Structure 1
């Protein structure tokens, strides 16, 4: 029995080292594969008896494990949608085949890195057919609340490269100098006009026509008072606000606003130096400056001149690029200088990443051993962040694998020698009978 157990142990040793050779071969073959996680084979002895008499060899058994939680170094690339997770967490992906089925449900896969580019339908897809998933943003760029313990809210990220976008004007700053001589006796009293462009909700150019009418006295000192009227071109030049501006003529504060009286339109706020008017597309906050501040509207000298006219908003523009920030937000960039959030990519975390089931193309599937997953915002909780223009390199250490290859070869040869020796001993036993 002792001789046969030695034979069995030798055979088990050959099988164990063959398994170890397989993992080494896989690791070396994927030493340049982005996102590859090296596999490791461990040996465990099998003991059949511990008595003081004859000893029976139990042999050896092997267990193999893929070290998925082991991070690889990051390599810089030139593609903004080459993504890698720096730290803990996985990117949610699905298969290209499931999108073609239009079944509404997509298999949930995990990856630590991927080179994604838009395909003919605008999906962010890798060369291996994996499609990046995320939560869709609303039209205003905000991301609604989605469940975090299920993948039901995730959608394949689809970028419309022919997408147009514009930003309506919501704020305007009117910095103007009004001529002080126009409120003196004998002035002609002609209104001064200023047209300021704004963009409506459809990105169309409209105008707010601002008229400054001086209050000219018949006799006496200058009134230093103006009537400001605002009209909206989108409403047929209807009046949207009317205000009386009184300027200070005292030493130290001369030319600054002394008071603003609201006749129609939104009330003037001295705290912000602004008021709100309603154009055809909605409210616009117009800043003319605070009282006695010297900013915004002034009344100095005899010149009428805009000093600082600014506004937000933009006309309609074309999308020119897409990038992903460290928090996982996918931004569409337009040629008019605006950026709009279109998706958010969460990071998936599990209690035991090494318990995931490894699939093709460096992707993984959850299992009972990996535990339940949770979708985190990138850089929140235990997860790391998302790095654009980067790919995760293979975790294979070629020098270490070659060292193990030599050890495995020697161990395999030694086990083969044991089998050869046992065979010779059995031959001797057979010869005794002769």
Structure 2
């Protein structure tokens, strides 16, 4: 009977608009929720096939809801370095457990990037989801474009990171040696090849000019290196020694008195360094403390506990800026510089556009500790909506594809940022009015059908 189907159609309208009201309400309530994706209502007519007769049977309506996961929310600034937002299609990979997760614990995907360390230093967002990434090593994260191997990921932990130091590997010096310096008596008999103990390093010979430079060892400690110069009887030539202060820092089985290197420094007639006739080495290798050496090799003393180290010297050359020169002016050091840094502790964590989680140290060094993947799906609308702004995989969504940020169209990761909700309040309040009116209209269908049925029943008194 058509009146009965109209009654049932009105009921379906009440159900459909009630469901739509619930999703609109959620949208409004989450207008300020980080990473929230607006839920869209789709109404579908449940038409029943009609025969060519005068009676029409109502089919009603059905409402379905789907989150508009692919929509991009606005990127908003944050003052927290571990607050992250994605510009693009990718999503963060998370789980509800950190280091205690097992193979049976599910993976979830989210755009809610308000991550901060928990009591154990694992990054967790406000909904309780832990961020996962690839652990970094010296070679960097592997090429993962197109990978589906979620098992290679680990929870991102940003505390308990060891400090870091960097040994000196390059040293430069700018100095002038006085061309008018008189040749000393010691210079006439100076010969390290036959008498290595009579040296400037030992103090047996007084240098005409000496300067010291601070370098860094493999443990971030500072070491003093002295450079001593003695004018040679040969014109435009100086004897030179490089030695450690104190000498006890070096292995006793190496060169005596902490001597690291020796040779001559030659100059052209116009005071420029003559590298072709200079024999002082421009590179110095210092062996590790646990590796005994014999002269002429040198090594750190066993008590120092240091790694091997190579230092390259830059003395410049003719017609270059800086370096060592010989002019008729007082011998003096004008500038020296070394690389390497002293030991530093963790200062803060930052994430770059490529998803590298970098540990920044108080000495200015940085080190990548993780690389964040972004997950994407062929049909993101097919994902299953979970609590806390997260989604889980489904057959409809397709297989998960992992890619590093800024690769394969995965998107960029913005640090100090959060993605805003995609809800438009003006649109939602309009939908609220429409749903309310449609609900009222459906109720009128029911009351009207009820009155008509009542009239039918009253035919028989």
Common fold, TM-score beyond 0.5?
Answer: yes
Deviation at 1:100, TM superposition (A): 6.2
Q: Which whole-Å CA distance do the structure 2 matches of 1:57 and 1:102 have between them?
A: 52
Cα–Cα, structure 1 residues 42 and 351, in superposed 2: closer, same or farther, change >3 Å?
Answer: same
Q: Which whole-Å CA distance do the structure 1 matches of 2:277 and 2:159 have between them?
A: 49
TM-score, with structure 1 as normaliser = 0.88
Contact 2:275 2:317 in 1 (8 A): no
The correspondence of residues 261-280 of structure 1 with structure 2, limited to 5 A, is: 261=277, 275-280=282-287
Corresponding residue for residue 273 of structure 2:
257
Q: Secondary structure at the match of 1:298?
A: strand
The correspondence of residues 31-50 of structure 1 with structure 2, limited to 5 A, is: 31-50=31-50
Corresponding residue for residue 6 of structure 1:
6
1:123 aligns with 2:122: yes
Corresponding residue for residue 242 of structure 1:
262
Contact 2:274 2:317 in 1 (8 A): no
Cα–Cα, structure 1 residues 402 and 42, in superposed 2: closer, same or farther, change >3 Å?
Answer: same
The correspondence of residues 352-431 of structure 1 with structure 2, limited to 5 A, is: 352-431=379-458
Q: Secondary structure at the match of 2:274?
A: strand
Corresponding residue for residue 198 of structure 1:
215
Further displaced range: 423-432 or 102-111:
102-111
Gaps of 5+ in 1: 218-222, 266-274
1:71 aligns with 2:72: yes
TM-score, with structure 2 as normaliser = 0.83
Deviation at 1:244, TM superposition (A): 2.6
Q: Secondary structure at the match of 1:176?
A: strand
Cα–Cα, structure 1 residues 302 and 284, in superposed 2: closer, same or farther, change >3 Å?
Answer: same
Post-superposition CA distance 1:354-386 (Å, at most 9, x none):
111111111111211111222222122212211
Q: Which whole-Å CA distance do the structure 1 matches of 2:112 and 2:140 have between them?
A: 23
Corresponding residue for residue 220 of structure 1:
none
Deviation at 1:187, TM superposition (A): 7.9
Contact 1:350 1:374 in 2 (8 A): yes
Contact 1:240 1:264 in 2 (8 A): no
1:346 aligns with 2:384: no
RMSD after superposition: 2.3
* Aligned partner of 1:286 among 313, 319, 341: 313
Q: Which runs of 4+ in 1 moved over 6 A?
A: none
Q: Which whole-Å CA distance do the structure 2 matches of 1:82 and 1:105 have between them?
A: 28
Contact 1:84 1:387 in 2 (8 A): yes
Corresponding residue for residue 159 of structure 2:
160
Corresponding residue for residue 320 of structure 1:
347
Post-superposition CA distance 1:327-361 (Å, at most 9, x none):
11112222222222221112222212211111111
Contact 1:225 1:244 in 2 (8 A): yes
Higher strand proportion (structure 1 or 2): 1
Q: Which whole-Å CA distance do the structure 2 matches of 1:24 and 1:357 have between them?
A: 19
Corresponding residue for residue 228 of structure 1:
240
Q: Secondary structure at the match of 1:257?
A: coil
Contact 2:172 2:336 in 1 (8 A): yes
Q: Which whole-Å CA distance do the structure 1 matches of 2:361 and 2:321 have between them?
A: 37
Q: Which whole-Å CA distance do the structure 1 matches of 2:11 and 2:244 have between them?
A: 91
Contact 1:257 1:293 in 2 (8 A): no
Q: Secondary structure at the match of 1:433?
A: coil
